[in-house]
Chains A and B, each alone.
Chain A
Amino acid sequence: MQTVNLTQMDKEGIAEKVIAMGGEGLLNCVQCGACASVCPVARAGFSLYCKNLIKKLQSGYMEEILEDSSTWACQACNRCTEICPRDVKPSEVVFAFRRIQAEELAISTSAFTPLMSLYETGHAVYNKRSKELRKKVGLPETPPTSIGDPKAVAELQKILDDSPMAELGIFLNLMSRKQEK
C-alpha cells in the first residue's frame, strides 16, 4: 500500500457535495465499523462499502474512487442506517456517492438496461416471455400497469424528460426516437 499524504488530499467541496446529494450524515461518522459488520456488500467482499467509502470521502478521496462500481452492489437494505450509533445513515451516503458517480456517468454497465427499459415501458425489468407466462397461469397477457398504457408511459416520460437524469444524455436516443414518432 502506498503512503497517502493527507495534506495533499484535496478535500475542497467533497463533503458539501456528498451532503447536498443526500449523504447528510457523512461527517458524523466515527468509523466504528458497525455498519460494515452487517453490510452484505462488505461481507461479500466488495471493495467499496459504506464504512470505507465514508472514510475515503472524509479524507478527500473522489477521483480515486469514482470509477469503482462496487458501490452499485448496495442493496439499500438499510440495516446500516438502522443500527448506526451516530445517525450517519450510511446507505444514504452510498446513494449520494452513486449520484455523484452517475453525474460522471461512472455507472455500473448493468444499470443502463433497466434505465432504458424504465423510460420505454415504465418498467425497469421487463421480460419478453411474459405474455406467454401470463397466459400459462390464466392471466391476461398484459398486466394493468404502464406496459399496456401509453398514457402512463407518457406521464412518466414527462417527469423523466426534464430530469437531471435526462441531462446526462442517458435517454437521448430514446427521446429523439419518440420525437420522430
Chain B
Amino acid sequence: MSKIGVYVCHCGENIAGVVDVEDVRQYAEQLDGVTVTRRNLFMCSDPGQEMIRQDIASGLVDRVVVAACTPRTHEPIFRTTLEKAGLNKYLFEMANIRDQGSWVHAHDKYGATAKAKRIVASAVGKAANLHPLEDKFVDVTPAALVIGGGVAGIFSALELAKMGHKVYLVEKQPSIGGAMAMLDKTFPTNDCSACILTPVMVEAANHPNIELLTCSEVADVNGYIGNFNVRIRKNQTYVDWNKCTGCGACAEACPVRTANEFNGGMDHRGAAYIHFPQAVPKKAVVDMSVCINCAGRKLGTEPRISKKTGQPVLAACEKACPSGAIDRSHHLPAEGTLRDIEVGVIIVATGYQVMEKENFPEYAPDSPNVITALQMERLISATGPTGGKLLRPSDHRKPRTISFVSCVGSRDVRHHTYCSRVCCMYMIKQARLIKEKYPDIRIFMHVIDVRAPGKDFDEYYTRARDMGITFVKGKVGGMEILPADQVRVLGYDVDLGSNIEVDADMVVLASAMEQPPTAKLLARKIGLSFDGAGFFKELHPKLKPVETAVEGVFLAGCCQGPKDIPDTVSQAKGAAAAAAIPLCQGKVRIDPTISEVDTEKCSGCGICTPLCPYNAIVLKTYSGRPRAMIDITQCKGCGVCTAACPSAAILLHGYTDVQILSQIAALTRAA
C-alpha cells in the first residue's frame, strides 16, 4: 500500500481566499492510501518544501500530491524537492486547484471547494498508481541551426560561433541582413543601419564556425533535442557561386526589368541580379520566374552557333559574366538541391513582414503617393531607388507636405489587436530625417498616442517636436484623392476637438508588423505553436521568453512578436545563451515519460507504426515474429500508439491506462 502525502497550498489568498483549504485537507485525509495531509501558506516556499522533505525522510510518505497551482510551472520545482529528499521524482502528482480552481470559480466558493476535492481525489488516485522512473541521457550533436539571416539570426549565430559551436545559418534570400538591411537609419541614435549591420554580416560570413546557407530553406525537421536531422533545400540560383565574384556585370547586362522587392517595388532589377549592394555573400542569382530567355535557348542545351559570326549565341548574362559563373548549357534542377544536416539545437529567427497598403481600403491604396513606412525607408536611403533623394513616386517631385499615419493595422480589431511597438519610433525617425534634410517640408504625424518607452526614446520624440514636426492626436479615418495626385487626409485632432484635413503630397502608412504566412509551414515542420496574435509562442511569456514547447528549439527576434533592433539583438543573444546550454553539456536528458512496448504482449499487428509522428516505432524480429520496438530517443511521449495498441502492449509511462482510469474513477465517484 502506498503512503501518499497530500499537501494543500493556500497560495496566500490566491487559493485560500476561495477554496476552503482545511475542508479539502480533511477530505484528503480519508482517501485510500493517504497517510499524511498538511496545509501551508506557500507550498513552493522553502518551509513548504521542507515539510515534504521531512515527511519523506521520516518514512511517512512515499508518494506526494501537492494541491496548488498548475503542474506546467510548478511540477519541476516539486520534483526537485522529492529528488533532494531521496524519493524518485516521478512519484509526484499535482492537483491544479488554483489556475483551474480558485482563479476561475471565485464567484462560487462552495463549488470551487467541491471541485478542488475531486481534483485532489483524482491526483491521489493517480499517485497511488505511479511508478518510479529513471531519466536517461543521450549525446548532443555539437552544432546549431539558425533559421533566418536577419539581425536576430546573425547575432544568434555569431554568439554561438564565438562560444566555439558550429552553426548553420539558413536564409532564404540570396543575402543575409533581413529587414534591418533595408532600413536607412536606426532610432534613437540615427546610426546608419547599413554601417552598423554590414560589418556584422561580414563577420558572420567569415567566421570559421559559421556555415552560411543563403537562398536556402528548411525542408524538413526530424529528431529531438540534441539530435535534430534537418533537410535543407538550397534553391536554384542558376549561378555557380564558386565562380561568381559579385561584380554585377550580369545584372547590368540583363534586359529584364522587374519590380525590385528590396526597394519596396519602387524601382527595377533584372532577372539576373544581386540582392542589394552590400549583400553578404555578394553573389548574383537568376530569377527564372521573370527571365525572358533572351538568347532563345532552353536551359541545359548547347548554344546555337550564329551563322554570321560562327560564335555561340549566349544570353546577355552569360556573355557579360567574366568568370563563367553563368552557363545555361548546364541542366540545373529548378527545385534546387537537398542537403541533410545534423544539429543539436535550433534557433528560429524568421522575422516578420509588414502589411501592404492594399489591406487598407480607406487609405486610398490606389494612390501611388500612399506608401508604407518600409517603402519610405528605401526612399530616403542612399542606396534606395532615388539615391536618397526624397521624391514622391507619382511624379518624382519633392513633396511639400507629408502625413504619417500610425496604427495602420495595429491596435485594430479588423486586423491585429496588438501594438507593433516600433511604428511610433520609426515614424518619428523618418520625420526627423526628412526634416533635417528638407526643413521646408511640412510633416504631420497622426497618432492615437505616441508610444516611446525605450531608452532615450522620449527624448528623441521631444526633439522631433522641437524640430517643428506637427503631432496630431487622432486616428485618421479616411483619405480623399485630390487632383495632381495629392491626398487629402481626413483626420481628427483630439486636442482641438475638431476635424482636420491635410492636403498631403505623400502619405506614409505605419503598417503593422505581422507573421508571414510561410511561418505556418515552418511551424508544422518543427512543431511550434502560435500565440493569439499569430506569432510563435514562447514557452513562458516572462520566464522562458526564448524557449519553445519543443525542447531544443529557441526563438529570436520578431517571429516571436514585434520588437525593435535593441530588443531583437538582446533576444538573439539570449536565445544563443539558452541554445548553448545543451551544446555545452554535451548530453541531454531523455524524459522517461515516454512509451515502451511490452514485447511479450505485442502481437506484431503493426497498427502503431504508421501512427508515430516521429517514426520512433520499428518492427523487429523477436523470437521469430515481428514485434514493435520504440526508440527512446525518438519518442516524445504523445501516447497515440498507446491508445491505439490493440494488444495493450504499449505503456506510456506517467500516463498509463491504470493511472487515467483511476483518475476517472475518482472524478466520477459519488461526492
Q: Which residues of A contact B (CB under 8 A)?
A: 30-39, 42-43, 51-52, 79-80, 82-83, 85-87
Contact = CB atoms under 8 A, between A and B. Distances in A.
Nearest to B413: A87
B414 A34 contact: no
A33 B478 contact: no
B411 interface: yes
Contacts of A33: 448, 473-475, 477, 491-494
A82 B411 CA distance: 15
B494 A83 contact: no
Contacts of B499: 36-37, 39, 42-43
Nearest to B414: A85
Contact of A85 (B411, B474, B490, B491): B411
B407 interface: yes
Contacts of B624: none
B580 to A, nearest CB: 42
B448 A37 contact: no
20 contacts: A33-B474, A33-B477, A33-B491, A34-B492, A36-B474, A36-B477, A36-B499, A37-B474, A37-B477, A37-B492, A38-B490, A42-B499, A43-B499, A51-B492, A79-B477, A82-B362, A83-B477, A85-B407, A85-B475, A87-B413
Contacts, number: 62
A83 B413 contact: no
Interface string B162-181: 00000000000000000000
B497 interface: yes
A35 B412 CA distance: 13
A38 B478 contact: yes
Given A36-B474, A38-B490, A85-B413, 11 more contacts: A33-B448, A33-B491, A34-B474, A34-B475, A34-B492, A36-B499, A37-B499, A38-B478, A80-B477, A85-B475, A87-B414
Nearest to A85: B412
Contacts of B407: 32, 85
B398 to A, nearest CB: 27
- Give me the 5 closest cross-chain CB pairs, A-B, nearest first: A33-B474, A85-B412, A37-B477, A33-B492, A32-B475
Interface centre among B413, B476, B493, B499, by most chain A C-beta atoms within 10 angstroms, is B499
Interface in B130-187: none
Interface centre among A43, A82, A83, by most chain B C-beta atoms within 10 angstroms, is A83
Measured as residues with beta carbon below 8 angstroms from the partner, the interface class of chain B is 20 to 34
A42 to B, nearest CB: 5
A68 B413 CA distance: 31
A93 B486 CA distance: 34
Nearest to A86: B413
Contacts of B413: 85-87
Contacts of A42: 492, 499
B172 to A, nearest CB: 33
Contacts of B474: 32-34, 36-37
B477 A52 contact: no
B400 to A, nearest CB: 22
A83 B362 contact: yes
A34 B413 CA distance: 14
Contact of B476 (A37, A80, A87): A37
A90 to B, nearest CB: 11
Given A37-B475, A37-B478, A31 B494 contact: yes
A66 B89 CA distance: 68
A82 B360 CA distance: 12
Contacts of A86: 412-413
Interface in B526-552: none
B478 A32 contact: no
Given A30-B448, A32-B448, A32-B475, A37 B412 contact: no
Contacts of A52: 497
Interface in B171-208: none
A22 B592 CA distance: 57
B473 to A, nearest CB: 8
A6 B500 CA distance: 28
Interface in B437-481: 448, 473-478
A165 B386 CA distance: 65
A51 B477 CA distance: 12
Nearest to B473: A33
Interface centre among B413, B477, B490, by most chain A C-beta atoms within 10 angstroms, is B477
A31 B497 CA distance: 11
A86 B475 CA distance: 12
A37 B488 CA distance: 12
A33 B407 CA distance: 12
Contacts of B362: 82-83
A52 B500 CA distance: 15
Contacts of A82: 362
A79 B476 CA distance: 13
A135 B324 CA distance: 88
A100 B474 CA distance: 28
A43 to B, nearest CB: 5
A176 B358 CA distance: 59
A162 B491 CA distance: 44
A33 to B, nearest CB: 3
A30 B407 CA distance: 13
A83 B448 CA distance: 15
Nearest to B472: A33
Nearest to B493: A33
Contact of B477 (A30, A31, A38): A38
A37 B473 CA distance: 11
Contacts of B497: 52
Nearest to B448: A32
Interface string B484-519: 000000111110010110000000000000000000
A52 B413 CA distance: 21
A83 B478 contact: yes
A38 B473 CA distance: 15
Contacts of B493: 33
Interface string B401-423: 00000010001111000000000
Interface centre among B407, B412, B492, B494, by most chain A C-beta atoms within 10 angstroms, is B492
Nearest to B409: A85
Contacts of B494: 31, 33
A139 to B, nearest CB: 39
A83 B360 CA distance: 10
Contacts of A80: 477
A45 to B, nearest CB: 8
A118 B492 CA distance: 38
B492 A36 contact: yes
Contacts of A38: 477-478, 490
Contacts of B475: 32-34, 37, 85
A35 B448 contact: no
A35 B499 CA distance: 10
A63 to B, nearest CB: 21
Contacts of B411: 85
A38 B494 CA distance: 14
Contacts of A30: 448
Interface string B70-103: 0000000000000000000000000000000000
